[in-house]
Chain A
């Protein structure tokens, strides 16, 4: 029987409990959704004791499944006001799953706002809350050092933590997760879940998995054979086997700029003159040069068991670690969107967000909005860093930057605020990549590129081809990808497995073969897609109860009125088409017995 750890921050108790039988096929996003759906009233204050913060590895977490170690973090979002699943790499998911936990459920909140706690979970499943008030205000990197000092020699563990932004209940605060080397640089960034953790008085979590082995499959022979087929497909596909390991996610900067879909200067243009200076090719060459050789800092997994290895470390001019990546979304948000054309300056902003505990997508988009107000010029990296750090003073008027693009745009009277459901748009302009406009508009998460990544067929010719500049086919494409993504997030897969899965039939088959042979339950392609529909149905119903309507499934008006150079296009997918994306929800809700 699967277990989860329940942590009551009001009464400071911890205890194990079984995962309810009806959720035996749920892990990751499906499990965090199910718990939030059942336990958090839709009208609850996201920063109050009624919110519940859930950490869950996927159904295949803790196994030898390639790229199967992603972590889902769920709660009601203080940014969107709806249900949230924020997904992170790092070691925590495998650590939790290997020691036998399908989830950690954090309820309640500390009445004493000065109190800070560290949740310690040992490999034998004993758990305790330790008071760490002196850690108040520490950045994520220092918290990682403090935790390291507490652990016995030879321990193996993963950390989860919040920085000052989470403690300050900032609506753009994320949750940091440690990578294989212990750097707290992987993030459940989106939706302000760092503020939820901060509101509970929980500063950090450490999970020891010393001595714990990978989980045993029900049918080992079939499972091993399926994982080998899956791994071979990931290595064979040109994207996951060559492009991503060589250049990382930031390989996208040049191609999006070429396609006219790289949002530049707060979504005023679709190409950035200095795209190549901030892109993946320049990034790789710089990292290799500063590291003294290839293969040192330019390609590794964000969690063990990854065979794609798109992560990398940015080294400063003296060859010292500065931060991860930066990833494409970060290079875009601080780069093109703020017109900053230097990767060292972008990395400095990335490091600051990593330490303060802020979502880099939301912060880059927010600083671009702030620049658009005229407060500081576009391209002013030093001014951007100062504005970002200003939030450390709760009385500074720029503290509102930590609450995201919408709050900042309203406070500084900016006309063009690129948000959906109060969450900033990521790195693809929906006028030049119309499928992404459908995903941004309709996703239960607010504007979120990972929710249904139509860039595949719109731009990259992966999984077919759909003209990015035309409305035809975009709603259907987004819908199918949103369902598939919800499934992958629930099994614990990195969504980059989708690139080979969309092109190689054996790779898709391997997913249900791995799931079936590991769990011993019957799984097939239809069951996988049903899992995805069930996840989206829970999210959609929750958001309806929280007050969302069709009017919330729309892009800001300027995307329909302001033409985007160089193609001079506007977003043309109709409202009626947007409203077809979740047409499966009533039927799935009936099948699930949900109202």
Chain B
């Protein structure tokens, strides 16, 4: 199963290719993988985060599907 993964702000350093940057990367996971398993595999720090799946908020328990775009942000705000 292929998904697009984008990590933002200081989470971008956790991209497995080590290249940083916010552009989405194509990644392959076993069918049935849920968001929390992706987070665990990436080794993201244990802190609150904001997760968008295809542009909508998603819980970490959600199971990913082929072609999904997963974007993860640390807590951010501004205005």
Main secondary structure, interface of B, reads loop
For residue B79, which residues in chain A have a CB less than 8 angstroms away from its CB? Answer: 249, 252, 328-329, 449-450, 453, 455, 495-496
Instruction: Indicate if the CB atoms of A251 and B9 lie closer than 8 Å.
Output: yes
Note all chain A residues with C-beta closer than 8 A to B6: 258
Proximity string of chain A (442-455) to chain B, C-beta cutoff 8 Å, 1 when within and 0 when not: 00000001100101
Q: Is A24 engaged at the interface, CB distance under 8 Å to the other chain?
A: no
Total interface residues in chain B, CB < 8 Å: 23
Q: Are the C-beta atoms of B56 and A469 separated by less than 8 Å?
A: yes
One digit per residue, 1 when the CB lies within 8 angstroms of any chain B CB and 0 when it does not, for chain A 556-593 equals: 00000000001100000000000000000000000000
Task: Please state if B55 and A566 are interface contacts (CB–CB under 8 Å).
Answer: yes
Q: Are A259 and B55 in contact (CB under 8 A)?
A: yes
Interface centre among A254, A258, A259, A260 (most CB of B within 10 A): A258
Give the distance in Å from the alpha carbon of A468 to the alpha carbon of B23 in the complex: 24
B74 CB contact (under 8 Å) in A242, A495, A496: A242
**Which of B23, B57, B78 is the one whose CB lies under 8 Å from A252?**
B78
Q: Which residue in chain A gives the minimum CB-CB distance to B78? A: A249
Query: In whole angstroms, how far apart are the Cα atoms of A281 and B77 in the complex?
Result: 13
Chain A residue at smallest Cβ distance from B54: A566
Among B9, B10, B21, find the residue whose CB has the most chain A CB atoms closer than 10 A.
Answer: B9
Q: Are A254 and B8 touching (Cβ within 8 A)?
A: yes
Q: How far is the CA of A276 from the CA of B24 in the complex (A)?
A: 11
CA distance A499 to B57 in the complex (A): 19
A251 touches B22 (CB 8 A): no
Return the chain B residue nearest A241 by Cβ: B75
| Residues 255-279 of A contacting B (Cβ, < 8 Å) | 255, 258-260, 271, 276, 279
**Residues A465 and B57 in contact, CB atoms below 8 Å apart:** yes
Chain B neighbourhood of A499, CB < 8 A: 77
Inter-subunit contact A455/B22 (CB<8 Å): no
Number of interface residues of A (CB under 8 A): 45
B residues near A238, Cβ cutoff 8 Å: 47-48, 74-75
Give per-residue flags for B7-23: 1 if the beta carbon is below 8 A from chain A beta carbons, else 0: 01110100000000111
Check B75 against A258 for contact (C-beta < 8 Å). Answer: no
CA–CA, A260 and B73, complex, Å: 15
Shortest CB-to-CB span from A325 to chain B, Å, is: 10
Instruction: Tell me if A461 counts as interface (CB < 8 A to partner B).
Output: yes
Which residues of chain B (28-75) have a CB below 8 Å from chain A?
Answer: 47-48, 50, 52, 55-57, 71, 73-75
User: Is there contact, CB below 8 Å, between B50 and A460?
Assistant: yes
**Considering the chains assembled together, what is the distance between the CA atoms of A310 and B79 in angstroms?**
11
- Are A461 and B50 in contact (CB-based, < 8 A)? yes
Residues of B within 8 A of A258 (CB): 6, 8, 52, 55, 71, 73
Interface presence of A138 (CB below 8 A): no
